[in-house]
C-alpha cells in the first residue's frame, strides 16, 4: 500500500504564491521537487491573501481536518506574520503579543490532532518600518518553535540580504516576488523541509 502523506500549506499570500507567473509559489515548488524525487504526497494549498495569524487560527482545524484526517502521515506547513505586522490606522493589524499567542495556539491545535508541523518564517518586505516589525516577529516565532520542539525555517534574514528577492519585491508590489524570488525562498526552505519529511512523525 502507498504511504499516504498529506500536507496542508496554511497561511497568507506567500503560501498562495502571489506574484509568481508560474502559480507555484514556494509550496508548489517544494511539493513538485519531492514528488520528482520519488516521494508521493498530496498537497493542499490553503494560502489566503491578506490573512493574519488570527484569520488562519479561525479556519485552521476546519480546513485542515477534512483533508488530513484519513492520512497515514498528516502534516502542516504554517507561514504567517507579514499581514499581522501591516499597519492600519497607525497600528499593526495584530499586535506582536497576539501574533505569538496565535502561533502557540496553532501549534497546540496541531499537536492535539497529531499533525506534524513545519513553520516557515515571514518573508521580508520593501517598506522599512513594516520590515522591522516583521523581523521582530521572525525572532519571536523562532523562539516559540524552539520551545515547542517544532522545526522552523529561518528564511527571513537570508532573504533580506538576497539581491534577487529585494529587487523583485521592490519592482513588484512591495511585498511579493516573482519567479526568481520564489525560487530563492523555496531553496532556503528545502533543507528544513527535507529534514522534516525524513524525521517521520
Question: In the chain, where are the structural domains located?
Answer: 5-198
pLDDT tens digits along 77-99:
999 999 999 999 999 999 999 99
Question: What residues contact 139, with CB distance under 8 A and at least 6 apart?
Answer: none
Q: Is the pLDDT of residue 201 over 60?
A: no
Q: Which is it for strands 42-47 and 116-120: parallel, antiparallel or unpaired?
A: unpaired
34 CA to centre of own chain: 17
Residue among 143, 145, 24, 125 nearest 84 (CA): 125
Return the sign of the alpha-carbon dihedral for residues 132, 134, 135, 139.
positive
Angle between helices 96-113 and 53-68 (to 10 degrees): 10
pLDDT digits (tens, 9 = 90+) for 102-132: 999 999 999 999 999 999 999 999 999 999 9
**Contact, 114 vs 74, CB < 8 A?**
yes
C-alpha cell of residue 97: 503579543
Decide if pLDDT at 200 tops 80: no
pLDDT one-digit tens code per residue, 143-189? 999 999 999 999 999 999 999 999 999 999 999 999 999 999 999 99
Q: What is the pLDDT of residue 49?
A: 98
> Is residue 51 pLDDT above 60, yes or no?
yes
Interval 26-37: pLDDT, tens: 999 999 999 999
Percent of the chain with pLDDT over 90: 97
Measured on CA atoms in the order 64, 200, 102, 88, is the torsion positive or negative?
negative
CA distance 82 to 75: 23
Contact between residue 42 and residue 5 where contact means Cβ atoms under 8 Å apart: yes
Q: Indicate the pLDDT class of residue 2, thresholds 50, 70 and 90.
A: confident
Domain 5-198 listed as CATH 3.40.50.1110: yes
Question: What does the pLDDT read at residue 70?
Answer: 87
Here the cell at position 88 is 492600519
- Mean of all residue pLDDT scores within the chain: 97
| pLDDT at position 1 | 57
Give the pairing type, strands 91-92 and 116-120.
Answer: unpaired
Amino acid at each position: 500500500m502507498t504511504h499516504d502523506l498529506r500536507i496542508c500549506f496554511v497561511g497568507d499570500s506567500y503560501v498562495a504564491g502571489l506574484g509568481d507567473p508560474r502559480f507555484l509559489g514556494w509550496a508548489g515548488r517544494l511539493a513538485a521537487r519531492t514528488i520528482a524525487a520519488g516521494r508521493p504526497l498530496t498537497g493542499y494549498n490553503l494560502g489566503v491573501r491578506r490573512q493574519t495569524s488570527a484569520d488562519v487560527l479561525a479556519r485552521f482545524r476546519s480546513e485542515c481536518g477534512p483533508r488530513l484526517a484519513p492520512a497515514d502521515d498528516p502534516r502542516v506547513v504554517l507561514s504567517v506574520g507579514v499581514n499581522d505586522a501591516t499597519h492600519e490606522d497607525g497600528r499593526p493589524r495584530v499586535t506582536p503579543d497576539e501574533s505569538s499567542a496565535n502561533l502557540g495556539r496553532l501549534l497546540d491545535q496541531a499537536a492535539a490532532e497529531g499533525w506534524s508541523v513545519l513553520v516557515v518564517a515571514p518573508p521580508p518586505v520593501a517598506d522599512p518600518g513594516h520590515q522591522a516589525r516583521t523581523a521582530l516577529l521572525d525572532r519571536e516565532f523562532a523562539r516559540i518553535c524552539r520551545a515547542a520542539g517544532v522545526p522552523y525555517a529561518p528564511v527571513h534574514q537570508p532573504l533580506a540580504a538576497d539581491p534577487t528577492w529585494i529587487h523583485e519585491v521592490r519592482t513588484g508590489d512591495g511585498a511579493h516576488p516573482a519567479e526568481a524570488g520564489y525560487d530563492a525562498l523555496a531553496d532556503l526552505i528545502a533543507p528544513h523541509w527535507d529534514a522534516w519529511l525524513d524525521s517521520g512523525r
